[in-house]
Structure 1
Amino acid sequence: MSTGTGRTDADPAGSGLEAALARLGERSEPTDFELRVLRHVGVPQSRYDAYALLDAPAGGLYVAHGPAGVTGAALGAEVADGRAFEELHRGRTGRAAIPAATPPPGVRGALRTGRAKQLRIDLSGLTPVERSVLTAVREIPRGQLRPVSWVAREAGLHDGEPVPEALARNPVHLLVPCHRVAHDAGPPCDAAYGPRVGEALRRDEGIEPEYLRDLLRGNTVFLGSDTTHIYCHPTCAHARRITPPHRVPFRTVGAARSAGYRPCKSCRPLAA
């Protein structure tokens, strides 16, 4: 039925226009408005953190920070929007997360280079074992994988059992690169997020899933070079430089050692 406005009652374009006009009359506060208000009225900074959304694979990265450094980060693929991140952060830390115009210093560079070891990251809300595991994970270079047993050794643990549980509790996605951890048999662990998200993060770093699948099909856990007689984790930068005719696959450390190969001093396989 005509309404006398040139459209019908069921015209969705008209209703959309009216909604847009109504929004024009709403006041939009600057991004840092809430932060300035909290500081002005003297709310202690210990009660809240600031956060920003940065460009990153898997839907971007929400990063919260306070005086002690980065206090939390979640991939856009894992949280629906800023409000969901705020609720997640409050539930984990007990502090509010307030939108900010800029992230803390160093975060953009860490995301660009994949090197976040120098960032101040606050893991104080975790257990000592969880902190040790995630601190070890921070040492894994961009574009490389390390097995659970390697992480356990670096964390000072007797076995790898607590590692997947600690990875699942990682409160700082991507900046603590859990996507660089694999099971000892070879496949990625992906305890902190699903395989699809982990694959997107690894692909962004040049770790192609097809390469990992080829290794699994060949039961290759380590790669040796028949010219240097050194064996590495297959994604080690040195292993990537071994040309196909000189690659020697190994299933176990024992097989590599029995063949007269010694461990790489860079990626330090478990027997190093």
Structure 2
Amino acid sequence: MSQNDNAGPAPWDHSLEDALAGLTSPGPVDLTLRILRHVGISHERYDAYVLLDTDAGGLYAAYSPTAVTGSALESMVVSPEMFEEIHWQRTGRTAIRSTMPFPGLRPALRTGRAKSLPVDLTGLDAHERAVLEAVRTVPKGQLRPVSWIAREADVVDVPGVNGFVTGTLARNPLTLLIPCHRVTYEDGTPCDSAYTPATGRALRSAEGIDMLRLAELFRRGGVLLGSDTTYIYCHPTCAHARRITPPHQRPFRTAAEARGAGYRACRSCRPVSV
């Protein structure tokens, strides 16, 4: 008997195990979608979704063949599985991971201009949809107060209208794509009911909105800003207001005060006339 006959079994070669494991790799991310399409499962039963980079971090965005159906910041959910569960509970459709975003989604996120992006607000009532559609019209880099949103959505007669608007923003199913960070209370304080304050600050900063300048203006009573050369008053973040040089700026507390001083409302930002 040789010396090796008493040595017992040879130790397991872990390098071989590692090499064999390397031969197995996960399937393509889109494989499940390909299979569903191949076997003819109805599109009405599932949505695809992607994870995209934004100024506020990763964004999960789900979509059907015709519209974006839901989105949430990565910081708002603990995992892709949680996003999938939330999407299923809200829409009744399974969300399946993909690598191909909905057409036009990347440019909308990059430019901050998602007003023309098709979205699906199924599950919301007519007033809630009107509020979120009004928010979609607020231009990048500008802010509008809750009263402006209520007027544009034609919900001013809804009982507790301010609470209704802010509550609808908090339930916004299309984070970032419906830019709730562009809505403020009447005193100019950000209405970040759809975001954490840090997220709202990051989004407004990325759009060049100077909240310190606005806070100083509001401290001086300037909810609206007029030009003593054109005699037009605007929301302070309106593109026209930003062109008013400091010597010609005239702050106003209300639209009535501005009209009383002989100023007329900007036709672009259309301040509420109260």
> TM-score surpassing 0.5?
yes
Whole-angstrom distance in 1 between the partners of 2:77 and 2:181: 17
Whole-angstrom distance in 2 between the partners of 1:181 and 1:105: 27
Question: How far 1:80 moved relative to its partner?
Answer: 2.7
Q: Is the alpha carbon distance of 1:224 and 1:134 closer, same or farther for their aligned partners in structure 2, counting shifts above 3 Å?
A: same
Whole-angstrom distance in 1 between the partners of 2:170 and 2:149: 14
2:3 aligned partner? none
2:134 aligned partner? 136
Whole-angstrom distance in 1 between the partners of 2:165 and 2:104: 27
Q: Is the alpha carbon distance of 1:141 and 1:21 closer, same or farther for their aligned partners in structure 2, counting shifts above 3 Å?
A: farther
Unmatched tracts of structure 2, length 5 or more: 1-14
Instruction: Give me the CA root mean square deviation.
Output: 2.1
Checking the alignment, whether the CA contact within 8 Å between 2:188 and 2:215 is kept in structure 1 is: no
1:175 aligned partner? 177
What aligned pairs does 1:182-221 form with structure 2 within 5 A after superposition?
Answer: 182-221=184-223
Q: Is the alpha carbon distance of 1:212 and 1:84 closer, same or farther for their aligned partners in structure 2, counting shifts above 3 Å?
A: farther
Question: How far 1:22 moved relative to its partner?
Answer: 8.5
1:5 aligned partner? none
- Residue from 259, 262, 267 that aligns with 1:260: 262
Partner deviation per Cα, 1:189-220 (whole Å, 9 max, x = no partner): 11111211111111111112322322332232
- Residue from 75, 78, 101 that aligns with 1:77: 75
Whole-angstrom distance in 1 between the partners of 2:18 and 2:267: 62
Question: How far 1:86 moved relative to its partner?
Answer: 1.2
What aligned pairs does 1:108-187 form with structure 2 within 5 A after superposition?
Answer: 108-158=106-156, 159-187=161-189
Unmatched tracts of structure 1, length 5 or more: 1-16
- Residue from 82, 86, 95 that aligns with 1:97: 95
Partner deviation per Cα, 1:125-155 (whole Å, 9 max, x = no partner): 1111110000111110000001100000110
Instruction: Report the TM-score when normalising by structure 2.
Output: 0.88
Checking the alignment, whether the CA contact within 8 Å between 1:58 and 1:76 is kept in structure 2 is: no
Q: Does residue 234 in structure 1 map to residue 236 in structure 2?
A: yes
Question: How far 1:109 moved relative to its partner?
Answer: 1.0
Checking the alignment, whether the CA contact within 8 Å between 1:151 and 1:160 is kept in structure 2 is: no
Whole-angstrom distance in 2 between the partners of 1:105 and 1:160: 35
Whole-angstrom distance in 2 between the partners of 1:149 and 1:22: 64
Size of the alignment, in residue pairs? 257
Q: Does residue 27 in structure 1 map to residue 25 in structure 2?
A: yes
Q: Is the alpha carbon distance of 1:60 and 1:215 closer, same or farther for their aligned partners in structure 2, counting shifts above 3 Å?
A: farther
Question: What is the DSSP-based 3-state SS (H/G/I as helix, E as strand, rest coil) of the residue aligned with 1:160?
Answer: helix
Whole-angstrom distance in 2 between the partners of 1:179 and 1:253: 23
Whole-angstrom distance in 2 between the partners of 1:148 and 1:157: 11
Question: How far 1:42 moved relative to its partner?
Answer: 2.3
Q: Is the alpha carbon distance of 1:191 and 1:243 closer, same or farther for their aligned partners in structure 2, counting shifts above 3 Å?
A: same
Whole-angstrom distance in 2 between the partners of 1:102 and 1:191: 30
Q: Is the alpha carbon distance of 1:187 and 1:34 closer, same or farther for their aligned partners in structure 2, counting shifts above 3 Å?
A: same
Q: Is the alpha carbon distance of 1:225 and 1:97 closer, same or farther for their aligned partners in structure 2, counting shifts above 3 Å?
A: same
Whole-angstrom distance in 1 between the partners of 2:163 and 2:79: 33
Give the residue type in structure 2 aligned to 1:196. A
Q: Is the alpha carbon distance of 1:163 and 1:25 closer, same or farther for their aligned partners in structure 2, counting shifts above 3 Å?
A: same
Question: What is the DSSP-based 3-state SS (H/G/I as helix, E as strand, rest coil) of the residue aligned with 2:250?
Answer: strand
Give the residue type in structure 2 aligned to 1:237. A
What aligned pairs does 1:54-73 form with structure 2 within 5 A after superposition?
Answer: 54-73=52-71
Question: What is the DSSP-based 3-state SS (H/G/I as helix, E as strand, rest coil) of the residue aligned with 1:110?
Answer: helix
Whole-angstrom distance in 2 between the partners of 1:211 and 1:20: 59
